[in-house]
Amino acid sequence: MIDENMTDDLLEEGDYELDHEVFGPVLSALKAQDAEALARVLDPLHPADIADLLEQLDPRLRTDLVHLYGIELDGEVLSELDESIREDIVAHMAPEVLAEAVRDLETDDVVDLIEDLDEPQTEAVLDALDDDDRVVVEQSLAYPEDSAGRLMQRELVMAPEHWDVGQAIDYMRSEDDLPEQFYHVILIDPRMRPTGYVTLGRIMGSPREVKLKEITEESFRTIPVLQDEGEVAYAFNQYHLISAPVVDGNDRLVGVITIDDAMAILDEEHEEDILRLAGVGEESSLADRVISTTRRRFPWLAVNLVTSILASLVIAQFEAVIAQFVALAVLMPIVASMGGNAGTQSLTVAVRALATKDLTSANLWRVIRREVLVGVVNGAIFAVVMGVVGVLWFGTPLLGVVIGVAMVINLVVAGLAGVVIPVVLERLDIDPALASGAFVTTVTDVVGFFAFLGLAAIMLL
């Protein structure tokens, strides 16, 4: 039995993971089709925890939970879900249940929820909204996907720029339709253009007669409504913003973006970069089915096959050398593997730096020089190690020299390729996180094999 006083016990101490004591009662309630027992377990949980629970359940059990929990499924739970899971859950919700779930959501959350729904579900949600909210949501949907217009919410607090603190406080106390959460009062001129904003803390800590424009924040900046959401998230992170007004082409106030939405986008950008670097698709998740997962991964495995064939063609050019010195076949994978790992290290740093705008034309050559020097130092160290191994293992001093020199060459090239390739791809408007891995792997494999076998052909024959 779980009651409201046990909410904290549902999480593992210190790590916020759902405890196994949650899953047992949930599974029992689903098996017995006991809606009251299920509600006793889920009601005390935060919407984010219920979303985690849904994501971890088997798809069939997830559907059973949606049907059994029914109208109690909060809209905030839907907004916390992974997109692929959310689509599946919404598809199993009755229109009236879906409409009730989203009725109290902020407009930005409603837009995020319905932009990927099919038409009947979208209409069910829109019909559940008040006329004013429906108009606002439809206007937001008219903006391009992944733009600030889709990310912003229309619920905000604004005041004329000539007001004082007392007028602002009186207005907020008398207004019945304020957002549930907000951080700034946005100041506007007669043309509805934002001119600054004031934090609630400054308002509450200032005398009533103080003019609002005298206590505005230096961090004030506006976001163009068509700006890419990735750029919006970067601005919030770079300038430590809590909220920012969104303006149209005439600089008029049309909405506001808050830090929670910006950080969610930043998190998505990071996740996409990681998934793209691994070649598994930017929308991959643990809940994906076998067919969809296979479809996303197959193209990159095919690209890897092509790069492997190119490396094999290089090896084929030295077939006679390998036939005379079997030790070369044993040591080849070491050179290629070390180069591949070094290239991946440089590549990961470079792609992340490009995403955060830390790698620019101003410091590009310094970064390239650093990576090359790192390759030289690491290459020299491992060259000595592998040179000794080569001598002790095969008793051929020249073989140790060959693998040592090849190691230095490949690690230097790996460091160079790991930086230059993503920079070049970005200049060509190609996502470096998506395409760099295949090119870097090809370069390190081809150079590694060519250097090792080429030096062996020169020095050992």
Phi, psi of 192 (to 5 degrees): 65, 25
Give a yes or no: residue 149 inside a domain. no
Enclosing domain of residue 269: 158-278
Q: And the tokens for 113?
A: 């929820």
Q: Is 16 helix (H, G, I), strand (E, B) or coil?
A: coil
% of the chain residues with pLDDT over 70: 89
pLDDT-based confidence at residue 7 (cuts at 50, 70, 90):
very low
Q: Are both 229 and 372 inside the same structural domain?
A: no
What CATH number corresponds to the domain at position 47? 1.25.60.10
Give a yes or no: residue 284 inside a domain. no
Give a yes or no: residue 115 inside a domain. yes
Q: Are both 320 and 414 inside the same structural domain?
A: yes
Residue for token pair 């976001």: 223
What CATH number corresponds to the domain at position 236? 3.10.580.10
Q: Give the strand pairing for 223-224 and 194-199.
A: unpaired
pLDDT mean across residues, the chain: 83
- DSSP annotation of 19: P
pLDDT of 8 strictly over 50 = no
d(CA 334, CA 386): 9
The DSSP code sequence of 208-223 is TTSBGGGS--TT---E
* Mean pLDDT along residues 182-195: 94
pLDDT in tens, 79-134: 788 777 777 787 777 777 777 777 777 777 888 877 777 777 777 778 777 787 88
**Cα of 224 vs its chain's centroid, Å:** 22
| Prediction pTM value | 0.63
Burial class (CB in 10 A: 0-12, 13-18, 19+), 228: middle
- DSSP annotation of 18: B
What CATH number corresponds to the domain at position 317? 1.10.357.20
